Structures are given as structure tokens and as C-alpha cells.
Structure 1
Amino acid sequence: MSLLISCSASFGQAAAHDAEAQPLLTDVGGYRLNSILIQAGGKKDLPPIVFIHGASTTLYDPMLSFRERLEGRGTLLFIDRPGHGRSDAGGRENVSPDGQADAISTLMEKRGIGGAIIVGHSFGGAIAAALAIRHPDKVRGIVFLSPAVYPWSSGVAWYYDAASAPVAGALFSAFIVPPLGLLAINRATKAVFAPNQPPAGYVEKTKALQAIRPQAFRHNAREIAALSDWAKVAAKQYRYIKAPTIIITGDTDKIVSPDIHARHLARDIPGARLIVVHNLGHKSDYIANDLAIAAIERVAGRKVDLLGMARAVEKRIANDCSD
């Protein structure tokens, strides 16, 4: 009998855990954003935290990296950005980080979050910056992880250029991207993590194949094509960001240049702290996950030895190299 009661209790706890993590589509002004809200538990010691994913992915990317380590410590909101995952693309304004920041601000209100620490990885860093500029009351602190926030002169990948073309882009996204993406996704994942290694089962657990659906891929390509021009204007406003800010980047990031983006951002945001990790690639949200969590704690006001943690990460990944 005691075994039966124990099993029933465990099943009930697991069911409650799963029910709490169900995605919800929320109208944010004529279109819907998908999100998962996980309420703080009894060990709450952090304010709400909003996670904004990067390009070519969904909310399951930061959720896989951060949920287990932070669940219960604060209310966690994981969001599919407009046009990604299960979220609607919305209007043309959502190609820009400004439009996406406005949508996320509305979603935060509707999900009961007045203000939060914003964690943005890569392209998500641009939305985090836009949130801080356009909705400063919603931002209690920012953790930028390998952010893409400034204009650059070089091109982007050829397949993004092809997918963003006005007419041919729709055909390319519909007929070329899905089969090509299936063949290339593992190689592309390794390139994004390089010189570090992706965790086992990363593609499956983060539902990464959603990114090669025609509409999602084309929306993503349009975002990336528009980002540099957006940054030319937005970068002039970074000096007005007042929220406590920590920026984490890797010195071997081949996807987003730390010199063009992270180092520049640290100079522009008053009081921002920059941490550059040796031999870290683009996926600081995974490879330097413990450092990122420490940064969240720091902007929340807790005393944390960030440099000591950064050196520990460097020691752990010192021998990482690309295949």
C-alpha cells in the first residue's frame, strides 16, 4: 500500500510538473506568440527571467540549457520569437528587433510579468537591447550572451540571401531548404558550437528541425538580412540603457564577432561588464551555462565571483577543438 501511495504521489508531481510547462498561445495584438511560463517555487531567490532565443531556433533551445538549473528559483518565461516555433510571424514590423521587442513586452504583461531580467542569446541580444530602449520599465537587468547588436560589412550565409529574395526566396525556402536542411543540420550545429561540442541529443531535444520549415526559414532569413541596417540606428541608443548589464562572449566565436559586437556593446552601455572566455565559441548559453547563471545572479544583486567562474569554464574547455 505504501508503495502504491508513493507511486501515485510521484505520478501526481510529474503530471503537475508537465502541466506547468505546457506551451500557451497568447494574442499580442492580432497575432499570437507561443510561450512557456514556469512559476517560481519555494526556493525563489531571483526575480522573473525572460529568455529570448537566437536565430534558427525556438524556445526549447534556452529551455534545455537553463530550465533544470533555474527552475523554482524565479518565474521563468521562454518565448518563441515572432515567426519561430509555434508563434505567428505578425506584421512586417516583426522582421525588426523593435517590433519583436514590442510584442514580447505585451506578452510579458499578459503573462503577469511586470519586469524581469532579460537573457538574450545572439540575435536575441538585439531584441533584449530593443526591449531595454523601448520598454525600460520591463527590464530589471540584461545578460547578453554572444550578442549580435551592431552593423557589419561582410555578407551572411548564401542560403539566407537566397531565402530572403522577394520572389525566388519563397520557392527556395519551400523546395530547397527542407531536404538540404535535413542533410546539413548536424554539420551546421557543430559549426555553431565550434570549437566546443554540442550536448548529446541537442537537435532532437531543442526541436531544431522546426527552423527548416519554409515559412520559419524565410522569416529568419529576412530578420538576419535586416539586422545590420537596424543596428546602424539602434546602436546610437545603447548609451541610454540603464539596467545592470553583463555581456558574455567567446574569443573563438566564428558566428558573431566578439570585437564587432560584444566588446563594442560593453563600451556603449554605461557600467556594463564584459567577460570574454578563451576558447569559447558561439554557444555561450550552453558551454558557459554556469557562468551565464552566475551573471543572472549578479544582475539580480547577488555577490558572485564572475571572473573565477570564467576561469573555471576556460579550464574545462581548454582542450576543445573543432573536428
Structure 2
Amino acid sequence: MTLTRLAGKVALFSAIAATTMACAQAADTVQTPPQGAYVALDGGRVHAVVQGQGPDLVLIHGANGNARDFTFDLAGRMAQEFRVISFDRPGFGHSDAFGGLKSPMAQAQVLRDAAAELGVDRPILLGHSYGGAVAMAWALQAPGDVAGLTLLAPAVYPWPGELGLWYQLSSSWLGQKVVLPLVAGLAPRSAVDSSLEGVFAPNPVPEGYMDHLGYDLTLRASQLALNARQVDGLKGYVEAMSPGYPALTMPIEIIHGDQDTTVGLSFHSQRMADTLDNAQLTILPDVGHMPHHARPKDVADAIRRTYTRARSQ
């Protein structure tokens, strides 16, 4: 290789590195303000939005989301009957990363500590998608302190096969250090909107949802990188957790859309309903991965059923 070609390659890699660093720094700038307050813990702060009064209901969001997914509609809807605590999971929204936790068990412990600081007492836990695994981890850690579970399209069991090429790439060194920062800094709004439409399909994305969720929070480079690592490692964690599910006795209500292409109905919700006597599954026809937006009344009814069953126990 001639010195000229070597110098050219060095210049090219330097330019890529500089562009990547600039994109990462720009994409980690957050303008969407916190809606709630911070709970200070050892290792960082957890952001929580608390609304209403009554029995405690804790909401745990899914992959690459934040508490605003719930404050768009569901939290306010349920605040008429419950004290609703919508958490940003560690590293998402306005919560600190606590070292970049991959395990649902570790995330659940942080949220449990934050809930204790807020005086949460035997809550109903609601977990959506990846948040379903965190809710199950919480229940496994403290079964006597959880009144019941409401799970929305939960990812709670190991699934056949492997994740797609995108997650394999995004969780790799190249994806973490180069691809995701570039995506975060350069992806057009239209590409983000198109991806969101795929998650909601076949249901429409509610008007104003993306702006409420926070475009800058969702496309933040550090959050994208943490999300990729968490999703890539989830299968092994739920494989280790799932043998403990049959020991749980609290009421479990599950809501899953029959058109969900993100989390397989048969691999997760149907398996839980077939395995656990205390789990009741409601399948919503023509609903995708976001039932709390497509059919919020059905989700609210499921929460009420969980609470009623918990009181009867």
C-alpha cells in the first residue's frame, strides 16, 4: 500500500469517526422536558410521573419508549381510579442509565427501589412488551408485594429462532459505535414515522403521538444503543426467568392483539395463559402491538379486572 493510499484511508476513517462523534453528541441533546419528578437512588435518578389517588398502579413501558407512551392516554384515564406511577426505565426517557442495565431483573430492582421511595404499596404492575419482562421480574423478586399483573403484548418467554439482522448489527461493536450514532444523528423524521407506523399496524398512529413521546428522546444515540443491547439479550434472560412463573399466585390479566407482528402471541401470551391457572388472556381482533392506544377501554377494563381479582384474593 502506498503512503498516498494509506493517508487516504486514515483521512477517511478520521472523517467517519468525527462524523459519528458529532452525530452521537447531537443526538443525545434532549429538549423534551420531564413531566414528573426525579427519585434519587444510589447510582442515579429515576424519573416518575405520578397522577391521581387510590390504589397504586405502576406502568412500565416497552423497548425504546418512555413514560410518555402512557401519559398520552392511559395514565390519565386510570388516574380517575388509581394513583398511577409511570416510570422511565433506567436509561430511557429522563431516567439515568445506572450503568446500562441489560437484565430485566436489574431494571426491576431499580424501579422497586424508586417505588419504595414513593411509598408504593402492593401495586398492580402493568408492563407493555419488553416492560412485561420487567414486570415479571419484579413479581418474581417480591411476589408478596405485588397485588396483580396486567401484561400488554408481553415478551416473557424464549422464542424460536434468532432476532433479525438489524438487532444483530445494532448490538455489535460496529452497530453500537458507528451505525446507531449515525442513525440517531441523520435519520429523517419520515423514516422514524414509517417505523412507528409498522409498530402500530394495522392500527393508525394516534395524531400527535410522536411529538408527545419526544422525537429527541426516542432517537437519542445512547438510548438506541442501550435498547439494542437489552433486546439482543432478552431471550436468555426470560429463558432463565420463566421456570419461576408457575410459583406466582397473584392474578394476571393479559391483553394481546391478534395482528401483533412484534411480539408473537402464541410464543408469549398464549403460552402463559396455557401454563398458568392464574393467567387470563384476552385476544383483541384486528389489533397490533399497541393495544393501549388501539383499544384503551379494553386495557382499562383489564386493569380493573386485575384489581378486582386481587381484592377477592
Normalising by the smaller structure, the TM-score range is 0.7 to 0.9
Match of 1:298 among 296, 302, 305: 305
Verify the 8 A CA contact 1:33 1:86 in the aligned structure 2: yes
Query: Structure 2: which amino acid aligns with 1:78?
Result: S
Cα deviation code 1:248-297 (max 9, x no counterpart): 10111111100001101112333210111111111111112101111111
Q: Does residue 58 of the first structure (1) align with residue 63 of the second (2)? A: no
Q: Secondary structure at the match of 2:149?
A: strand
Output the CA distance in 1 between the equivalents of 2:218 and 2:65: 6
Cα deviation code 1:20-50 (max 9, x no counterpart): x94222223211111111241xxx5xx2100
Output the CA distance in 1 between the equivalents of 2:165 and 2:68: 26
Deviation larger for 208-217 or 109-118: 208-217
Q: Does residue 174 of the first structure (1) align with residue 181 of the second (2)? A: yes
Residue 258 of structure 2: aligned partner: 251
Verify the 8 A CA contact 1:131 1:138 in the aligned structure 2: no
Output the CA distance in 2 between the equivalents of 1:297 and 1:128: 17
Gaps in structure 2 of 5+ consecutive residues: 1-33
Distance 1:172 1:242, change over 3 A: same
Residue 92 of structure 2: aligned partner: 84
Q: Secondary structure at the match of 1:95?
A: coil
The alpha-carbon deviation at position 155 of structure 1 amounts to: 3.3
The alpha-carbon deviation at position 302 of structure 1 amounts to: 7.0
Verify the 8 A CA contact 1:256 1:282 in the aligned structure 2: yes
Residue 288 of structure 2: aligned partner: 281
Verify the 8 A CA contact 1:170 1:214 in the aligned structure 2: no
Query: Structure 1: which amino acid aligns with 2:96?
Result: D
Query: Structure 2: which amino acid aligns with 1:242?
Result: T
Residue 25 of structure 1: aligned partner: 38
Q: Does residue 262 of the first structure (1) align with residue 269 of the second (2)? A: yes
Cα deviation code 1:106-127 (max 9, x no counterpart): 0110011022101111001001
Gaps in structure 1 of 5+ consecutive residues: 1-20, 304-323
Verify the 8 A CA contact 1:54 1:124 in the aligned structure 2: yes
The alpha-carbon deviation at position 208 of structure 1 amounts to: 4.3
The alpha-carbon deviation at position 168 of structure 1 amounts to: 4.7
Verify the 8 A CA contact 2:180 2:221 in the aligned structure 1: yes
Could you state the TM-score of these two structures normalised by the residue count of structure 1? 0.81
Residue 48 of structure 1: aligned partner: 56
Verify the 8 A CA contact 2:48 2:88 in the aligned structure 1: yes
Distance 1:126 1:208, change over 3 A: farther
The alpha-carbon deviation at position 181 of structure 1 amounts to: 5.9
Deviation larger for 282-291 or 23-32: 23-32
Output the CA distance in 2 between the equivalents of 1:199 and 1:168: 31
Residue 110 of structure 2: aligned partner: 103
Q: Does residue 216 of the first structure (1) align with residue 223 of the second (2)? A: yes
Identity of aligned residues (%): 29
Query: Structure 2: which amino acid aligns with 1:132?
Result: A
Match of 1:202 among 209, 212, 216: 209
- Larger relative contact order (C-alpha < 8 A, sep ≥ 6)? 2
Cα deviation code 1:154-207 (max 9, x no counterpart): 333433322211355222222233322634111111111111111111100121
Query: Structure 1: which amino acid aligns with 2:47?
Result: N
Output the CA distance in 1 between the equivalents of 2:132 and 2:49: 19
